Amino acid sequence: MLTVKDLHVSYGHIQALEGVSLEVPEGKIISIIGSNGAGKTTLLNTISGIVKQKAGTIEFEGQTLTRAAHQVVKLGLVHVPEGRKIFSGLTVKENLYAGAFIAKDKAKVEENIEKMYKMYPILEKRQNQHAGTLSGGEQQMLAICRGLMSEPKMILLDEPSLGLAPIIVQGVFELIKQISAQGLTVMLVEQNAKKALALCDYAYVLENGKIVVQGLGKELLCDDRIKKAYLGER
């Protein structure tokens, strides 16, 4: 569904990505793990059109992406950024409406809001509250649900577990599993390597802007190099 070929991105003299190639098949969960500064956010920002590459190509459903970020959403690819970036001064419901900015059919938008409420009932309870008053976990769920409001085919999730308590992280991963089971293709960037590898079908390990290891999530969980470097095991 998504093919990235030989992607190079730099910020001035800093080379953030150096020849990254990867494949995200339809309906799968693909994870990108790696430490701070490895280039994970840059990779997602380049795919969604926020950052421009120096070289390399990105294809989504056979179409080369050369468009601005809002046009990428229209193709069915949505990015839920790191730090959630919800509109804290707007209500929960207004945030959901904002996610449906490309939609033309009002009835469908309402139907989708109901779907989100069903999937995560706290959002309904808090629909008229300012989103900034939600807990961190609720804000993350809202950010994902807002992304789903445009009815994407694929979702890019940047560090959805960042800063959340373990029990809440569990809920976020359950939600990802649920949306994947509904047929959505997922690209998940995570520092929580253990959870990401357990959840995903296939994973890429990014180090200093390069893919250094790749394989099935369950295989990488047992890989000695990964255990030492990313899972805190010996």
Residues at the site binding ligand ATP, with contacts judged by CB under 6 A:
11, 14, 16, 34, 36-42, 191
Residue 34 CB, nearest approach to ligand ATP (Å): 5
Residue 41 CB, nearest approach to ligand ATP (Å): 3
Residue 205 CB, nearest approach to ligand ATP (Å): 11
| Residue 15 and residue 8 in contact, taking contact as beta carbons nearer than 8 Å | yes
The residue among 25 and 37 lying less far from ligand ATP, judged by its C-beta, is: 37
CA gap 206, 212 in Å, rounded: 6
Q: Is 145 helix (H, G, I), strand (E, B) or coil?
A: helix
Residue 162 CB, nearest approach to ligand ATP (Å): 8
Gyration radius from the chain CA atoms? 17
CA gap 137, 141 in Å, rounded: 6
Place of tokens 């789903």: 148
Q: Residues 6 or more apart from 100 whose CB is under 8 A from it?
A: 109, 112, 149, 150
| Residue 9 and residue 38 in contact, taking contact as beta carbons nearer than 8 Å | no
| Residue 210 and residue 216 in contact, taking contact as beta carbons nearer than 8 Å | no
Residue 14 CB, nearest approach to ligand ATP (Å): 5
The token pair that represents 6 in the structure block: 């030989």
